[in-house]
Amino acid sequence: MQFTLEQGHWYACEFIGDEFDDDRCSYSPIRVNEMSPLKSGRGTFRLAFYHANYPEGVRDKNYELEMLERGSRYLLAISKKHNPIGVMQIYEIDWAWMNRHFPSYSTSSDNIQMWLSRNV
């Protein structure tokens, strides 16, 4: 079974590109608002999402992406319309990932989906 994005669901996202320092990655929880195939025959799709680790006022994003790989637990896509070109890896979010990348968001909540919806 292939990994599938669900509308309204939060995911861990790694943005990979030359514009980022250190390990060439930027990390963010994202909430999928809409995903629609572009039916180009090239595995392209439009992804509208809320980018939590972006400045207030510009967190709603709409990217045209091309699927590179889709495993059972992740999706890897490229945005050729960005300069420089960027790659996104998207997978299920959990507290271990949040604590590793955003330790200030410590909480006792068990439900990460609910917590993100209320606090981010």
CATH of the domain at 88: 2.30.29
On whether residue 109 sits in a domain, the answer given is: no
Per-residue confidence in pLDDT tens, the chain, 120 aa: 899 999 999 999 999 877 777 778 889 999 999 999 998 777 899 999 999 988 788 899 999 999 999 999 999 999 878 777 789 999 999 999 999 999 888 777 789 999 999 988
pLDDT at 61: 93
On whether residue 111 sits in a domain, the answer given is: no
pLDDT at 83: 75
Q: What residue numbers bound the domain in which 95 lies?
A: 10-103
Element (H, E) at 61: strand 60-70
Residue 71: closest CA among 46, 91, 85, 96: 91
Helices and strands in the chain: count of H runs, count of E runs: 2, 6
Query: Whole-model pTM above 0.75?
Result: yes
pLDDT at 82: 76
Residue 4: closest CA among 120, 109, 90: 90
pLDDT at 92: 97
Domain count, the chain: 1
On whether residue 110 sits in a domain, the answer given is: no
On whether residue 99 sits in a domain, the answer given is: yes
pLDDT at 55: 74
On whether residue 88 sits in a domain, the answer given is: yes
On whether residue 67 sits in a domain, the answer given is: yes
pLDDT at 96: 92
On whether residue 69 sits in a domain, the answer given is: yes
On whether residue 36 sits in a domain, the answer given is: yes
